[in-house]
Structure 1
């Protein structure tokens, strides 16, 4: 896919935003990154990228898929500010978030970056938290952890990675729990047949907001190659390659293997950054009005701006 915007050569080590928007959204039944959550009909990706821009990011790599990519590319070309550098890269087959990240590698080079889902609104405070971590230059990756209760919209079941934090504040493990929902009595449960079935509302969870240094690239490439040996280190596939299996390699799995020393090379640390922000995402169609109401409440209480860019009066 094409890229737009000016040169990034002078930006040094300023973090770049990687927007993972190649998902098929089978449960939602539409193009989730374009779901209109803002007060004025702004899309999910508008709100997230606007928050990242407010945190000091002015370059975005949008990883798009062949099915929904053209609609997303059309939207961002028509609505995003001209001073925001945007690259569009294609994830040709849906092999998971780790593979999607590899597809962005040729653009990112050796710069630090922030990874976000294209169907979640993380909030300006959470984006600022991870950007500040990377700008301080530690040799650690970062994971932003939300309270479970602040990561759910509606009552439909979702998957959440519960975060186990070591005493030094570093990531120990991410335990993926399925069928997580809020019960009618206000408590939270994971109906996946595992214990504990009831989850504390303050349980730290991951919703795929990460900050990474370039040191992560060999681990990501190795993890993807173990499952899909035909995938090159830049995410591409040879023209004569056999069709890959549908097995997805997920970025949280790579981070867990990295901190546990289960991938070649040195063990790398992942700092867990706790946030009190609310993450608003859309999983099911029924979530849409609830998510829009949640965004409106955050605006009304001053927790996020009304406009993702400048308001019409300021433009």
Structure 2
């Protein structure tokens, strides 16, 4: 059974100023999603599931269906504020989505095979997808997970702070802890994370989660239980979010699963701010020049 690629594409791009998951960045009008799915197909994935919003369902499907038809099976699920477990409701004034853990849960009824999960606006490199397929082939256990660990210094934006899950591993390369840092940035050539008025320097070599994980279907049960606990504790708040990284961290620490960190020195790049766009376009053009990708991705 071929693995599935789950793409988190429900973000509204508030900092970017639009739907960055559909922005044309490649010379043939390709978005980052196009390159991700292209790499996944070449690596051996058999299906892609998009988590989107119903508010942009039509343009999203029009954008990708014609390109992917006949190349890979596609499915769509929807993240909406009101998609909550029984007994919970959206507090008055809440506008912010419930986070990546909630988005991921929307796919629990359509994924029954090992899968990788990624962000729609992040470029991970073709080796990430081949590493994922290799891990799945060689680690069939239902509670054996993995994640791609990118060097922090290769994942920053020049135009503002970013959120990253900073990872700790044991001597065998298994994840032991994730610390979610919501404000990491560069200042005078150094890297810091900020908490209020305090800042702490980081080396830049720390492995961080860029939300490229490999899971088995068993993770959805952990995610469901964790989200219900989150809603009971913080569901009344207007901006709190439930991260699937947080759930994975709890599952690992409880001994219910293991997560292998697959370290990579690949130059991740992505779109956080509008100012990131030229750099991403140049990076893609360089990969085309190196013949990693064709000039027009889907002319195959």
Which category describes the TM-score, using the shorter chain as reference length? 0.7 to 0.9
In the alignment, does 2:266 pair up with 1:273? no
Partner of 2:287: 298
- TM-score, normalised via structure 1 length: 0.82
Contact 1:162 1:175 in 2 (8 A): yes
1:165 to 163, 169, 178: 169
In the alignment, does 2:122 pair up with 1:133? no
Task: Report the CA distance between 1:114 and its aligned residue.
Answer: 0.5
Could you list the per-position Cα deviations for residues 215-244 of structure 1 after superposition, in whole angstroms to 9, with x for gaps in the alignment? Answer: 212211100111236xxxxxxxxxxxx999
Task: Report the CA distance between 1:306 and its aligned residue.
Answer: 3.2
- TM-score, normalised via structure 2 length: 0.86
2: CA distance, partners of 1:258 / 1:72: 34
Task: Report the CA distance between 1:179 and its aligned residue.
Answer: 2.5
Partner of 1:67: 55
Describe the SS at the equivalent of 2:218.
helix
Contact 1:153 1:287 in 2 (8 A): yes
After superposition, the Cα gap between the structure-2 partners of 1:80 and 1:200, relative to the gap in structure 1 and judged at 3 Å, is same
1:173-212 equivalence runs, <5 A = 173-185=177-189, 187-192=190-195, 197-212=200-215
Partner of 2:22: 34
After superposition, the Cα gap between the structure-2 partners of 1:190 and 1:297, relative to the gap in structure 1 and judged at 3 Å, is farther
Partner of 1:118: 120
1:134-153 equivalence runs, <5 A = 134-139=136-141, 140-153=144-157
Partner of 1:285: 274
After superposition, the Cα gap between the structure-2 partners of 1:255 and 1:194, relative to the gap in structure 1 and judged at 3 Å, is farther
Describe the SS at the equivalent of 1:191.
strand
Could you list the per-position Cα deviations for residues 63-120 of structure 1 after superposition, in whole angstroms to 9, with x for gaps in the alignment? Answer: 11133333222211232242311001111223211121111111112x1100001111
Describe the SS at the equivalent of 1:220.
helix
2: CA distance, partners of 1:91 / 1:199: 34
1: CA distance, partners of 2:223 / 2:44: 26
Task: Report the CA distance between 1:36 and its aligned residue.
Answer: 1.9
2: CA distance, partners of 1:79 / 1:31: 19
After superposition, the Cα gap between the structure-2 partners of 1:196 and 1:131, relative to the gap in structure 1 and judged at 3 Å, is farther
1: CA distance, partners of 2:251 / 2:178: 12
Partner of 1:258: 251
2: CA distance, partners of 1:194 / 1:277: 32
Describe the SS at the equivalent of 2:281.
helix
Contact 1:39 1:306 in 2 (8 A): no
Greater Cα offset, 16-25 or 152-161: 152-161
1: CA distance, partners of 2:236 / 2:159: 37
1: CA distance, partners of 2:238 / 2:183: 25
Greater Cα offset, 44-53 or 189-198: 189-198
Partner of 1:237: none
Describe the SS at the equivalent of 1:106.
coil
Task: Report the CA distance between 1:299 and its aligned residue.
Answer: 3.2
Partner of 1:22: 10
Partner of 2:240: 247
Task: Report the CA distance between 1:155 and its aligned residue.
Answer: 3.4
Q: Which residues of structure 2 form unaligned runs of 5+?
A: 82-96
Task: Report the CA distance between 1:203 and its aligned residue.
Answer: 1.5
